[in-house]
Each structure stands twice: as C-alpha cells, then as structure tokens.
A and B are shown apart, each in its own frame.
Chain A
Amino acid sequence: RKEVEQDPGPFNVPEGATVAFNCTYSNSASQSFFWYRQDCRKEPKLLMSVYSSGNEDGRFTAQLNRASQYISLLIRDSKLSDSATYLCVVNPSTGGFKTIFGAGTRLFVKA
C-alpha cells in the first residue's frame, strides 16, 4: 500500500461545478497535511494546509479526518484557472520536513 494515495484522475468538470478530491495516508502518526497545486512543467505550490478543525480559503475547503486517515479538498465554483494537478502531501514526523507526496489528481475545468 502506498503511503499516500489519491483519487485517480483526471476529473473533467464544467466551469462553476463543485469538485472534491480525497486522499488517504497510511501512517497514523502523521503530523502535517497539505494540498499543493502543480501546473504542467512547473513546481508545486502550496495551496493550503489542512488542520483537524478544517480550513477554508475562498472557494477551497480542506478537511482532515484522523480517525479514518484521510484528507479532502473541495473546490466550489470551479474556474478554468483551477485546471492543474492537485497533490496531497503528508509530513509523517514531528519537527521534520520529510514530506510524502501523493501521485496527484489532475483536474480539467472546461468552459
């Protein structure tokens, strides 16, 4: 089993749609969780951190379920510019930065 697994893609959605991505992780002791966005041939960029209480940033909402060991990302009112690969990232250790990346889920938002 992979340490971090994501929904297989690609997701093809129309503009304005709501889309949700899930991600599961295997190490129950994992400490930090993130969603990154990666555009084609570019480096990943931090989209948002994920906290136990959940967090929201505009159209994006991230949630963490420690009991079930999964995190989610919800994108509302999708824009064409949201088309990218979304990477689920888990930091398995306390005080360290050795992160584990999921394989990514590709999102295509179409007009």
Chain B
Amino acid sequence: GAVVSQHPSWVICKSGTSVKIECRSLDFQATTMFWYRQFPKQSLMLMATSNEGSKATYEQGVEKDKFLINHASLTLSTLTVTSAHPEDSSFYICSAPVGGDTQYFGPGTRLTVL
C-alpha cells in the first residue's frame, strides 16, 4: 500500500530556533500534500495544503511566514517552523491523497520547544 514517511519522528529544540519537517511519499507521486497539527486530546487541524510547483494554501489563522512550506518535488514536502516557541509544541502530521479521496498519513513528528 501507499506509504508516507516523515522525518524526524520527534524533535526537541530551544525557543527561537527553526525546525524543518520532511514529508515524503515513498511509492507514489503527490502533487498535493496536507499538513496538520494536533494538540493533546484534540483532533487534527488542517494547517495548509502543499502544492507542488506553486505556493501553499494556508488555513485561516495559520501564519504563512511562521510555517514555511516548500513542495520541492512530487514526492517531498517540507514544513519549517520558524522561530519556534513553546506554544508551537505539537504533533505535526502530513498526508497525501492516493486515488479517489483516500488519504494516507505520515507517522507524525512530535515537536517539543523548550
């Protein structure tokens, strides 16, 4: 089946640093990928839609200058959390659609900002 990977699986960083998270589709091409954020005991919230070859589309309330998205190729999208702060600590998950309207999710990246 389709596989989506994320790297790193977890990261701890100091406040003010930037963190890059990679999302890869391993055996298929994805012109679109989605980035979600999930806080403890809450559901996934869509942050942005990553589009290969064009700018990402951000959801209302998500700062595009803080969460930089680059869809560099048909198999790779990156999310960079710039100047991270403790309130950015969360579980970040990417997904890619595979045929029809099914999505496959990456394993997630747990970010902890000290």
Contact = CB atoms under 8 A, between A and B. Distances in A.
A7 B64 CA distance: 33
Contacts of B32: 97
Given A44-B105, A99-B103, A104 B49 contact: no
B44 A101 contact: yes
A8 B36 CA distance: 22
A1 interface: no
B105 A97 contact: no
B90 to A, nearest CB: 12
Contacts of B46: 98-101
A45 interface: yes
A43 interface: yes
A95 to B, nearest CB: 8
B93 A43 contact: yes
A80 to B, nearest CB: 22
A60 B107 CA distance: 24
27 contacts: A32-B101, A41-B108, A41-B110, A42-B107, A42-B108, A43-B93, A43-B107, A43-B108, A44-B93, A44-B105, A46-B102, A46-B104, A49-B102, A87-B44, A91-B101, A97-B34, A97-B103, A98-B34, A99-B46, A99-B103, A100-B46, A101-B45, A101-B46, A102-B43, A103-B42, A103-B43, A104-B43
